[in-house]
Amino acid sequence: MKIAIDIDEVLSDTLTALISFHNEKYGTSLKKSDFHSYKYWEVWGGTMEEAITKVYEFYESDYFKNINPVQNSQIAVKSLKKHHDLVVVSSRQHEIEEKTLEWLEKHFPKAFSDVHFTNAYSLSGQSQKKSIVCHYLNAKTLIDDCLDYAIECSRSMEMVFLFDSPWNRLDLLPYKVRRVRSWNEIVERLK
């Protein structure tokens, strides 16, 4: 089975690094629990454009370069790779494609048959819908942390695993969306 996997907060503990960067550079004291939305400007204030600029500054920092993998993600991906075709489908922008591919190869060597960037919140180029990319790739399962993507992709996929996070809380999820708290849960369910 082909499984599409997101990067940020699924493979990569990006938010922890972004919070450290933001707190140091802008003198804030943000915590992960403050992120009730994936729209960062709703958390730290300012406009969407200002938030995008801050994120691009983060991309140029050592914080971005030194992001750690999500706990147990490497072991889980290695296990899933034995029985499934794994692809990455990320909202990341084309401008950080090279850095992202280097990070994936460092932490998940040869784990993915393909990597796609939907280019969301980019300063240049058009973005694509994650559901369309997953459909094009014929992925049957998605592993993500974004509620909007989970709901959108659940309409055409067999199953979506949604990592539990403060920004994706909803009492009732669609039938095909399963909330998970760890990679171990995903591996168990896909055995």
For residues 56 and 87, membership in a common domain is answered with no
Per-residue confidence (pLDDT) for residue 153, from 0 to 100 = 96
Q: Are residues 55 and 106 in the same domain?
A: no
Res 109 pLDDT > 80: yes
- 61 plus 73 within the same structural domain: no
> Residue 97 pLDDT more than 80?
yes
**What is this structure's pTM?**
0.94
Token pair in block for residue 119: 């280019």
Give residue 45's pLDDT band: very low, low, confident or very high (50, 70, 90).
very high
Residues 50, 118 share a domain: no
82 and 51 in a common domain: no
Question: Are 41 and 86 in a shared domain?
Answer: no
What percentage of the chain has pLDDT greater than the value 90? 86
Mean pLDDT of the 96-109 span? 97
Closest among 168, 87, 183 to 135, alpha carbons compared:
87
- Give the pLDDT band (50/70/90) at residue 121: confident
Q: Last residue of a domain, which of 30, 47, 65?
A: 65
Structural domain that includes position 39: 14-65
CATH number of the domain to which 141 belongs: 3.40.50.1000
Q: Looking at the structure, do residues 123 and 145 belong to the same domain, yes or no?
A: yes
Q: How far is CA 28 from CA 22, 32, 59, 83, in A?
A: 7, 13, 18, 44
Domain co-membership, 80 together with 35: no
Same domain, yes or no: 28 and 107 = no
Number of domains making up the chain: 2
What is the sign of the dihedral through the CA atoms of 82, 87, 90 and 93?
A: positive
